Amino acid sequence: MKILKLSILSVLFTVSITSCVKQEYDAPPNANSIDPSKVVNSQISYLTESCLNLESNKARVLGDSTISGVVIGDDRSGNIYKQIYVQDSAGGGIILLLDRTNLYGDYPVGRKVYVNLKGLYLVNYRGLPEIAYYVDPATGSTSGIPSSLIGDFITKGSYPNTVTPKVVTISDLFSSPARYLNTLIKMEDMQFDVASSGVLYSNPSSSTNRTIKDCPFTGALTMYNSSYSTFQSAITPSGKGSITGIFTTYYTTPQFVLRDTLDVLLTGARTCP
């Protein structure tokens, strides 16, 4: 009988211990939500202003400072190559040249990044502010941060983050281009012009410029489309509506860079020629 009592007590003790063990485990923290909160002591808008004071294709070495912003343009669709566009909370935008492909894996749209600027170059590339790893003083050609060194200059922050595009008109872009350079913009009442409507976004053999305009007409804007983009063979819509993308320039010509055709919402009836 003693053996039976001991067995019963053993079973009861085991059940008691088991019932005290937590059966559900807390999920590990999402690394994407963790932000290093590095000290930021410069703004992108300051770099833009400083850059535009340089002559075209000129550069200067940056000092020991840090900027932060959210990626608004990556290379997922192939229309952006070996670079990302970053915009900060104050509304300034800059291009980071990175000598690597498939950047969207680490730096997708919505990723916050911190950039250590010490030793990098601020470049006025044909009127467009960029940050490069090296600039050839003789030719003005630029090099992106080598793949092996990207982590030394760029620290990943939280993800995802939303950047709301600035709603602008073509008149806004033409009257104050520096204000919107390298930033995410949205334009309403837009359509492709007749020659750029109902055709391939880009010719297969070479990158192609298409023209978008507002309606009622006040101006037109060049849209750059790479022949390597995933939407190269897609057909441009013939309707009217909104379009979102990144505002840039090429020399002094305003230019619009499309991230993906998901940003093209020209579904309304066309009302202008």
Q: pLDDT tens digits for 84-114?
A: 999 999 999 999 999 999 999 999 999 999 9
Q: pLDDT tens digits for 199-225?
A: 999 999 999 999 999 999 999 999 999
For residues 98 and 71, the answer to whether their CB atoms sit within 8 Å is no
Looking at residue 26, its pLDDT comes to 53
Average pLDDT over residues 126-151: 95
Higher pLDDT, 167 or 34: 167
pLDDT band at 3 (very low <50, low <70, confident <90, very high): very low
Looking at residue 24, its pLDDT comes to 53
DSSP per-residue letters across the chain: -HHHHHHHHHHHHHHHHHHHS--S-PPPP-GGG----------HHHHHHHHHTSPTT-EEE--S-EEEEEEEE-STTSSS-SEEEEE-TTS-EEEEEEE-S-GGGTS-TT-EEEEE-TT-EEEEETTEEEEESEE-TTT--EEPEEGGGHHHHEEE--S----PPEE--HHHHHHSHHHHTTSEEEEEEEEE-GGGTTSBSS-SSS-EEEEEEESS-S-EEEEEE-TTSTTTTSBPP-SEEEEEEEEEEETTEEEEE-S-GGGEEEEEPP---
Looking at residue 6, its pLDDT comes to 44
Task: Please tell me whether the overall predicted TM-score, pTM, comes out greater than 0.85 for this model.
Answer: yes
For residues 171 and 179, the answer to whether their CB atoms sit within 8 Å is no
Question: Is pLDDT above 70 for 153?
Answer: yes
Lowest mean pLDDT among 24-33, 142-151, 255-264: 24-33
Looking at residue 29, its pLDDT comes to 54
Q: pLDDT tens digits for 15-26?
A: 444 444 445 545
Query: CATH fold of 39-156, please?
Result: OB fold (Dihydrolipoamide Acetyltransferase, E2P) (2.40.50)
pLDDT band at 8 (very low <50, low <70, confident <90, very high): very low
pLDDT band at 250 (very low <50, low <70, confident <90, very high): confident
The domain made up of 166-268 is a member of CATH 3.30.70.560: no
CATH 2.40.50.140 domain residues, the chain = 166-268
Q: pLDDT tens digits for 39-85?
A: 999 999 999 999 999 999 999 999 999 999 999 999 999 999 999 99
Q: pLDDT tens digits for 187-201?
A: 999 999 999 999 999
Instruction: State the chain's mean pLDDT as an integer.
Output: 91
